[in-house]
Amino acid sequence: MTEIRLDAKTLRALAHPLRIRLLGLLQLDGPATATGLAQRVGESSGTTSWHLRQLADNGLIEQETALGNKRERWWKASYEGTDLRMEDFRGDDESAGALAAFLYEIAAGAYRRMTTFLAEDWAQEWRESFVMSTQELPLTPDELKAMRTELHEVVDKYRRPERQGDEIVVTQIQGFPRKTKR
């Protein structure tokens, strides 16, 4: 899987909810036109086109030359995954707003995917298989990092090419501290 590590420049390019959604759609569903994406996100094709150009200017997406014609431009994601390391932005006050916007939109997107699933009509076998679980554990930062690594290893164990009869399953892993009243 190709992955891009976010730096301050790419983070600022992504720090817009619509750009994150557009990039996500291209990563998940493959190449699309500005018009097709505009219909999916409820925006005008002009607005969508402008944001796609911003993503392209920063190397996050590229034109899919195998599709389209002179009037119709198709876009595809330049990479599959994002590597965001919080330590890269420690003390970077100029990127703080972009980082907050990016993280908020990632969390909002995860929420939208879950609520979309809950509202859809799925076969009983999928309804019985899905998981939505919340556990609260007393951990240190090192223990949380170790757990994160192990959970990613478990997910990677199930990574394989898509086969007939498969559904694409979204996995979401979250682990964060919460303030307690003591």
Q: What is the pTM of this model?
A: 0.75
At 54 the pLDDT is: 94
Nearest to 107 by CA among 99, 97, 118: 99
Q: Would you give per-residue pLDDT tens digits along the chain (182 residues)?
A: 588 888 888 888 888 889 999 998 999 889 999 999 999 999 999 999 999 999 999 989 998 888 877 778 899 999 888 888 888 888 888 888 889 888 988 898 889 889 999 999 999 999 899 988 888 999 999 999 999 999 999 999 999 998 998 988 888 888 888 888 76
Radius of gyration of the chain (CA): 19
> Cα(33)–Cα(63) distance, rounded to whole angstroms?
10
> Cα(109)–Cα(93) distance, rounded to whole angstroms?
25
C-alpha dist (Å) from residue 99 to 92, 95, 121: 10, 6, 35
Domain range annotation of the chain = 3-122
CATH no., domain 3-122 = 1.10.10.10
* 33 exposure class (CB count in 10 Å sphere: 0-12, 13-18, 19+): buried
At 83 the pLDDT is: 82
At 158 the pLDDT is: 94
Tokens of 33: 């036109």
